[in-house]
Amino acid sequence: MSETLTHSRARQMALPWLGMLLLFAVPFIVQGLGIPSLLGLATRIAIAALAAASLNVLLGYGGLVSFGHAAYYGLGAYTVGILNAQFVSGDLLFGIIPGTNQLWFTLPAAMLVSGLVAVCLGALCLRTSGVQFIMITLAFAQMIYFLFISLKAYGGDDGLLMRRPNIAPFINLHNSAHMYYLAVVCLIAYVLFCGRLMRSRFGRVIAGQRQSERRMVALGIQTYPYKLLAFVLAGMGAGLAGALTANYAHFVSPDLMHWTQSGDLLIMVVIGGAGRLWGPLLGAAVLIVLETMLSGWTQYWQIIMGPILVLVALYSPQLHRRLDLSA
Amino acid sequence: MTAPLLQLRNITKRFGGMVATNDLSLDVHAGEVHALIGPNGAGKTTLICQIMGELRSNSGSMTFDGVNLQPLSPPRRARLGIGRTFQITQLLGEDTVLDNVAMAVQAGLGHSFHFWRDARKNAALLTPARAALEAVGLLPRAAMRVADLAHGERKQLELAVALALKPRLLVLDEPMAGLGPAESEAMTQILAGLKSQVAMLLVEHDMDAVFALADRITVLVYGAAIASGTPQQIRQDPRVLAAYLSEEMV
Amino acid sequence: MLFLLAAGLTLVFGIMGVINLAHGSLYMIGAYAAAWTAMETGSFLLAAIAAIAAAGSVGMVLEMVVLRRFYARDHVDQVLATFGLVLFFNQAMALMFGRQPLFVTLPQALSGTVLVAPGVPYPVFRLLIIAAVIVVAVLLWLFIGHTRIGMLVRAGATNREMVRAMGVPIRGLYTLVFGLGAALAGLAGLLAGPIYSVQVGMGEQILISTFVVIVIGGVGSIRGASIGALLVGGMDTLLRAVVPALLQHVMQGPDADALAGGIASMGIYIVMAVVLLLRPRGLFPSL
């Protein structure tokens, strides 16, 4: 009995490392298979997984259903896009900030911008709970969506093109393998950071308030500041993903912040298993592959996607419990 | 006579036209067990909610160790040293027994903005947690998930969690609810053992436990205290017998 | 319009605890049903019946087939499932009617203007909308507050088990309530068609505004929905009228217009933010 226990524990511990090894091996696998477009797909999955992982902090660990997470994703992307546009045109943003295309600056800038907005919006949204929280996060995201649509100076509805991705020493983001590795490194770093965070005392408070807010209050813990910090950290993660997507696609548009994008992120978290560390990666992979396949078949693929989602929502907790027991 | 630890004076709570708490005054002294009994709907839970800060009283004063409770938020009151057990247990269902108590210990250590160390391996949390579990007799169950516990064990855990914060006053909301005779007896023993360490406001229906533990009893009917005194006095008080006890004792 | 949608949605949410993104789709179905009927028959009355019937029946079917499985579930699951429904309906409508917006022309009687005060012409159709909203509001108030069924609905909201134990078929009740909410949405769709044009995705735009109305007004309260709708609608109109003019002083050209539109759109969210700062549960929370 104890042998099988240690066996499965060993398997549990080895699995993430194997997974990471696999992630790093992807470009070589793709080369071997001779289908270069797969690398682009893998990159999109990695970026989406990062965004979903940031939402997982809120939803999976904290039980906070944020339906407006795509706003931070879009903000990160636009930070890169706008900085780049300023760099190209040579003007100063707001009269003081120079544009830039340096990666080491744009990535943190993206995280900073999304973090700041997250503080402001989170401070308001977290005053509510339950359904109101869902609705208000959605509403604020739409507000930001409309804001960017109205910014004709930066493309508005049509979006903003980035002719070249950002530059950094030793990295050439035109090279799809480099882009992929950048995405994967960010993903792994963020996920490991979150894992660490959720095991800490801070993480325990977050998990605790999800399970019983009343108990936390009775213990003398005021949960608001903790939730707010989690909200900001999640926003920053999404911002990072957005910055990566700007560099990958060379294009940013308000659609990145559309509520359906927020919905997609929620789906990824749920499919992969809310609260599981690597769940978002699984969820992102499943959703993106599914969407790619379905849209290859028909223009009206959403008519199939819709019912699939309903079924997922209906059966996913059961499924995850089954998977738990067998593992 | 030392000053009371918890002092309620003329507390009134109205919900629209209905008076849930009617000009209630109550004291709990350090080291004593003050039981609150009364029929269902008498307003016991409403009173607890007011003490804990979940509900705002319409009028009256409430002090704890001289500190005015009214302006304080619920977490603040808990931090002052008022512990609480819930009638319907409020536990972290997915976590283990040890996790739950460790959470309480963690809360007692101040803020939790610590991001690096694994909380489940932190001796500063685990050692006191184990001690608290020992005190209620739940140590053997430390690694079990709360969801897998028996009802009686959950009630014990509720108690352990509240105790881990080292409160000076413990507000117990029907700790015997749902317990069988053997479990009730065990719980009564545990509470009796705690008498010297913490003052208790015990809200209960189980008369055996009440009479075994209480130093004083207040009887609540329709939100008002109709009698207050030692168990001996209450047992003989005709008003109480008429209103409530006769049904229970027979 | 916002009131109709908000009332239906807040009913569903307040009483059954389900968050339903597909409410916007019911609105869309109503609009399409009305538009199609109007084009085929030329009768506004028939179109109205079609809209309400279509939305109401689809709503009830939806409740019976899908939604009732989600009453006990987490909000996330409800959001996900209704999101899936939205995708499904949007595509279904696109399949049936194509992606181009439909324009509905009003019958003669309704398309003129009327003098509401000396020198102030007001479109007849808008008057009709206002009248309809008032009638619905009164009917709702009477229904929920003063009939047996209304009472059952309110009781069911606070304590499902007890109502069921009393022998009331709560499932049927919920289906009925949902159908009512759906019918309201369909009515809103009917009225919206001539003004906004009928197209795929129209539900979502207004749904979000509906959410804002509900958050401001307080979840579960019809009174809140009406005040909220007035507030939001009024605010929106005010901003759209005032901001572009203001902005012209500072900026020039089409950029200014777009920005003005953006700021006007943001206005209602800012109102929501302010309300939440002061009253996190909305103005008239019933929960």
- Whether residue A23 is contained in a domain is answered as yes
Euclidean distance between CA atoms A57 and A196, whole angstroms: 12
Residues A31 and A155 in one domain: no
pLDDT band, very low/low/confident/very high, at B241 (cuts 50, 70, 90): confident
Residues A5 and A137 in one domain: no
pLDDT of C132: 75
Is pLDDT above 70 for B189?
yes
In Å, how far is A70's CA from the nearest CA of chain B? 26
Q: Give the number of other CB atoms < 10 A from CB of residue A57.
A: 28
Residues A102 and A7 in one domain: no
- Whether residue A210 is contained in a domain is answered as yes
The closest CB to that of C84, out of A127, A136, A308, belongs to: A308
Residues A237 and A138 in one domain: yes
pLDDT of B249: 46
pLDDT of C198: 74
Question: Would you call A217 and B78 a contact, using CB atoms and an 8 Å cutoff?
Answer: yes
In this prediction, residues B229-238 reach a mean pLDDT of: 85
Place of tokens 């900001």: A232
pLDDT of C45: 74
Is pLDDT above 50 for C194?
yes
A-C Cβ pairs (cutoff 8 Å, strict): 144
**pLDDT tens-digit readout, B25-41:** 999 998 899 999 888 77
Question: Would you call A131 and C219 a contact, using CB atoms and an 8 Å cutoff?
Answer: yes
Euclidean distance between CA atoms A89 and A77, whole angstroms: 18
Contacts of A223 (CB under 8 A, 6+ apart): A205, A209, A213, A216, A217
Question: Would you call A139 and C219 a contact, using CB atoms and an 8 Å cutoff?
Answer: no
Supply angle C-alpha B105, B108, B113, rounded to 5.
95
Chains A and B touch (3+ CB pairs under 8 A): yes
- Whether residue A118 is contained in a domain is answered as yes
Is pLDDT above 90 for B132?
no
Task: Decide if C134 contacts C127 (C-beta within 8 A).
Answer: no
A-B Cβ pairs (cutoff 8 Å, strict): 92
pLDDT band, very low/low/confident/very high, at B203 (cuts 50, 70, 90): very high
pLDDT band, very low/low/confident/very high, at A121 (cuts 50, 70, 90): very high
The closest CB to that of B112, out of A201, A214, A215, belongs to: A201
In Å, how far is A104's CA from the nearest CA of chain C? 31
pLDDT of C257: 66
Is pLDDT above 70 for C157?
no
Residues A21 and A83 in one domain: no
Q: Which residue has the higher pLDDT, C170 or A249?
A: A249
Candidates C37, C50, C46, C143; CA nearest to C97 is C37
Residues of A in contact with B114 (CB under 8 A): 200-202
Residues A69 and A1 in one domain: no
In this prediction, residues B190-218 reach a mean pLDDT of: 89
**pLDDT tens-digit readout, C19-51:** 778 887 888 888 888 777 777 776 677 777 777
In Å, how far is A219's CA from the nearest CA of chain B? 6
Euclidean distance between CA atoms B188 and C244, whole angstroms: 73
Is pLDDT above 80 for C83?
yes
Residues above pLDDT 70, as percent of chain B:
96
- pTM over the 0.80 mark: yes
Is pLDDT above 50 for C110?
yes
- Whether residue A279 is contained in a domain is answered as no
Supply angle C-alpha A183, A185, A190, rounded to 5.
95
Q: Which residue has the higher pLDDT, C275 or B101?
A: B101
DSSP B93-128: TTSBHHHHHHHHHHHHTS-----SS-GGG-HHHHHH
pLDDT band, very low/low/confident/very high, at C116 (cuts 50, 70, 90): low
Residues A189 and A206 in one domain: yes
Question: Would you call C280 and A127 a contact, using CB atoms and an 8 Å cutoff?
Answer: yes
Query: Given CB atoms, is A154 within the 8 Å cutoff of chain C?
Result: no
Chain A (40-99) residues lying within 8 Å, Cβ to Cβ, of chain C: 59, 65, 67
pLDDT of C53: 81
Contacts of C61 (CB under 8 A, 6+ apart): none
The closest CB to that of C75, out of A65, A147, A314, belongs to: A65
The closest CB to that of A217, out of B74, B83, B91, belongs to: B74
Question: Residue B175 gets which letter from DSSP?
Answer: T
Which of A260, A292, A310 terminates a domain? The answer is: A260
Residues of C in contact with A154 (CB under 8 A): none
ipTM score of complex: 0.86
Residues A209 and A65 in one domain: yes
* Count of domains for chain A: 2
Q: Which of A125, A258, A302, A312 to mutate against chain C (most C CBs within 10 Å)?
A: A302
The mean-pLDDT minimum among A71-75, A127-131, A282-286, C155-159 falls in C155-159
pLDDT band, very low/low/confident/very high, at B250 (cuts 50, 70, 90): very low
Residue A137 belongs to domain spanning: 40-260
Residues of A in contact with B94 (CB under 8 A): 207, 211
Question: Residue A156 gets which letter from DSSP?
Answer: G
In Å, how far is A78's CA from the nearest CA of chain C? 17
Is pLDDT above 50 for B238?
yes
Chain C residue with CA closest to A132: the answer is: C215
Question: Would you call C95 and A300 a contact, using CB atoms and an 8 Å cutoff?
Answer: yes
Residues A199 and A170 in one domain: yes
pLDDT band, very low/low/confident/very high, at A194 (cuts 50, 70, 90): very high
**A260: amino acid identity, one letter:** T
What are the CA-CA distances from residue B147 to residues A162, A223, B96, B121, B153 (Å)? 53, 23, 8, 22, 11
Question: Would you call C280 and A128 a contact, using CB atoms and an 8 Å cutoff?
Answer: yes
Question: Would you call B119 and A220 a contact, using CB atoms and an 8 Å cutoff?
Answer: no
- Whether residue A322 is contained in a domain is answered as no
- Whether residue A300 is contained in a domain is answered as no
pLDDT of C156: 59
**pLDDT tens-digit readout, A16-46:** 788 888 888 888 887 777 777 888 899 999 9
Q: Which of A131, A144, A308 to mutate against chain C (most C CBs within 10 Å)?
A: A131
Residues A17 and A56 in one domain: no
Locate A212 and state its tokens: 């019983």
**pLDDT tens-digit readout, C120-144:** 666 666 677 777 777 777 777 777 6
**pLDDT tens-digit readout, A242-276:** 999 999 998 899 999 998 899 999 999 988 888 88
Which of A239, A260, A281 terminates a domain? The answer is: A260
In this prediction, residues A58-72 reach a mean pLDDT of: 92
Contacts of C278 (CB under 8 A, 6+ apart): none
pLDDT band, very low/low/confident/very high, at B171 (cuts 50, 70, 90): very high
Query: Given CB atoms, is A202 within the 8 Å cutoff of chain B?
Result: yes
Is pLDDT above 50 for C287?
no
Chain A residue with CA closest to B105: the answer is: A219
Residues of B in contact with A226 (CB under 8 A): 112-113
In Å, how far is A300's CA from the nearest CA of chain C? 6
If you average pLDDT over every residue of chain A, what do you get?
Answer: 86
pLDDT of A1: 45
Query: What structural domains does chain C harbor?
Result: 2-278 (1.10.3470)
Q: Which of C63, C79, C252, C286 to mutate against chain A (most A CBs within 10 Å)?
A: C79
Which of A242, A260, A278 terminates a domain? The answer is: A260
Is pLDDT above 90 for A225?
yes
**pLDDT tens-digit readout, C198-225:** 777 777 777 887 888 877 777 666 667 7
Q: Which residue has the higher pLDDT, B196 or C249?
A: B196
Query: Given CB atoms, is A207 within the 8 Å cutoff of chain B?
Result: yes
Query: What structural domains does chain B harbor?
Result: 1-81+167-250 (3.40.50.300), 91-166 (no CATH)
- Tell me, rounded to whole angstroms, the distance of Cα C141 from its chain centroid: 17
**pLDDT tens-digit readout, B40-58:** 777 888 899 999 998 888 8
In Å, how far is A188's CA from the nearest CA of chain B? 17
Residues A10 and A26 in one domain: yes
H or E element at residue B21: strand B18-28
Is pLDDT above 90 for A110?
yes
**pLDDT tens-digit readout, C232-283:** 777 777 777 777 677 666 666 666 666 666 677 777 788 777 777 777 766 7
* DSSP alpha helix (H) spans, chain A: 2-33, 37-56, 70-89, 103-125, 130-149, 176-199, 201-211, 213-218, 224-249, 259-272, 279-297, 302-326
pLDDT of A240: 95
Is pLDDT above 70 for B160?
yes
Look at residue C75 and give its three-state secondary structure.
helix
Euclidean distance between CA atoms C13 and C245, whole angstroms: 39
What do you get for the CA distance between the two ends of chain A, in Å? Answer: 15
In this prediction, residues B77-104 reach a mean pLDDT of: 90
pLDDT of C118: 59
What are the CA-CA distances from residue B13 to residues A318, B66, B174, B223 (Å)? 45, 22, 21, 9
Residues A3 and A81 in one domain: no
DSSP A45-104: HHHHHHHHHHHHIIIIIT----TTTHHHHHHHHHHHHHHHHHHHH-PEETTTEEP--BHH
Residues of C in contact with A316 (CB under 8 A): 77
H or E element at residue C80: helix C75-97
Is pLDDT above 60 for A325?
no
If you average pLDDT over every residue of chain B, what do you get?
Answer: 87
Task: Decide if A76 contacts A166 (C-beta within 8 A).
Answer: no
